[in-house]
Chains A and B, each alone.
Chain A
């Protein structure tokens, strides 16, 4: 009886996706609730946090390595997302929060993961005392730790934009950049400002385990720009319907692989499976680039007119294919266009073909936002705050997640480079508009939630 149920073509297709097209599982992220770690003593709180993270994630690396070998599919990152720390901080002051950050760093080190996300606060409507302490601690926490990632949600469609928090984030990003100036301001690469943040995002630096989540969850982020690129290249000059169909089918296969890895990891860790995040996440490796896909769709360079339309098509087709492939899709689920982490983007930015304004427009149709963009070190805090406000406004009005991860590179100007190494990549410093936004940011208060919020 014939047992082989796959054709040689199918088997080789999978093998080639991994070998030559950089298909991989970008991250297996274990979300851990820390709500039960609360204590009136900071010492006990830190002990509880360390013990829970260590206990829950101690097998993560081993299980990931096993699964990666058994499926022949690389798993690039293992990460941890925890409850936003402001929710468990209680009466902790800034010093206490620095200790909690150091504890998270140690716990991540103990279980051998490169990033732990959740040094976070949600302040879209207003700030509690704990939120304010956390924000005040961010620059030093990011400078003093290697693995801790911070995120702050400053707006939502339901609550509007907290402009006071946005102004504060402009200053915090500047300060973080200064404190880590000796290392290309790398602290800023670990800090995301969100509008409409999602609670089950597995991707760093913006991952946290939201308060609506269960005790623990295993969330998976897939990759695969290289696979999509190869598929549409092979198809040649087909029309858009055909193009969308090719992307959809490819996304389906990638997502199924992600779901299998997620479920298997969850079962072996004894934790519930959460979601697959469909995002097409690029890396600095040549061929693993979202920009190259847009160029293959028909642009001389990413940033040319038509980039937004091409990205809209790509993003939508990835979602349609992915949504059919998984029972639980979540996280950010869209194409990422981080500048420093995408070879095509880096090249276009270096040549001046893609500007911050075009990138902003593109973020209206994809996840997630102005990501990993190096700007001159002397950019004023008000300008950074205004960039955040623009991006958050796009998210608020369009009921989508947007984010800002800017790196004001200390001591560097337009054309200089910042280099973070590894997956964070390298990027040229690109110009921002030099006209002041100071009066807008100085107004203070909240931008009211839009009519879109009144849906009941």
Chain B
């Protein structure tokens, strides 16, 4: 008997490679933050899809949506480089896959 292909599921699950991620930068505003973070991303061949910045709950916050599809390095490596750059710039940088926000904030 031929094996049935697995059924498609629409339920959320994050891919191993690629996908999109959200980078959050929290701290006080200063010259060179976007340039510094964008430099790390460019070096890793990660495309920035969108950037927004605002003051939320008294924190200066920058949020970037990035595309990991062309990334030359692993998520782990990228996360480490961003954290390193953040420490250099005295801001907190987090990168998280977009799925976590979709799961928690979109029905």
- Chain A: residues with CB nearer than 8 A to chain B? 2-6, 8-15, 66-67, 69-73, 253, 256-257, 259-260, 263-264, 266-268, 327
Contact = CB atoms under 8 A, between A and B. Distances in A.
A263 to B, nearest CB: 4
B71 to A, nearest CB: 12
Contacts of A256: 12, 103-104
Given A8-B54, A11-B24, A72-B94, A3 B49 contact: yes
Contacts of B21: 70
B61 A8 contact: yes
Given A73-B100, A256-B103, A12 B12 contact: no
A376 B59 CA distance: 51
Contact of A2 (B50, B57, B79, B96): B50
B94 A263 contact: no
Interface residues of B, number: 34
Given A14-B104, A15-B94, A256-B104, A69 B76 contact: yes
Given A8-B56, A70-B21, A73-B100, 8 more contacts: A3-B50, A69-B79, A70-B75, A71-B14, A72-B96, A253-B104, A256-B103, A268-B16
Nearest to A73: B100
22 contacts: A3-B49, A3-B65, A4-B52, A5-B65, A6-B22, A6-B63, A6-B105, A8-B52, A10-B104, A12-B24, A14-B104, A14-B105, A15-B94, A66-B76, A70-B21, A70-B75, A71-B100, A72-B95, A257-B100, A259-B12, A263-B13, A268-B16
Contacts of B98: 5-6
Contact of A66 (B56, B75, B94, B99): B75
Interface of B: 11-14, 16, 21-22, 24, 49-50, 52, 54, 56-57, 59, 61, 63, 65, 75-76, 79, 94-106
B51 to A, nearest CB: 8
Contact of B13 (A4, A14, A69, A264): A264
B5 to A, nearest CB: 16
A267 B103 contact: no
Contacts of A73: 100
A5 B102 CA distance: 9
A263 B12 contact: yes
Contacts of A8: 52, 54, 56, 61, 63
- What are the 6 tightest A-B residue pairs by CB atom distance, in nearest-first order? A72-B96, A3-B50, A263-B13, A3-B49, A260-B103, A256-B103
Contacts of A9: 56
Nearest to B14: A264
Contacts of A6: 22, 63, 98, 101, 105
A9 B101 CA distance: 11
A71 B99 contact: yes
Contacts of A72: 94-96, 100
Contacts of B96: 14, 70-72
Contacts of A327: 11
Given A6-B105, A70-B75, A14 B52 contact: no
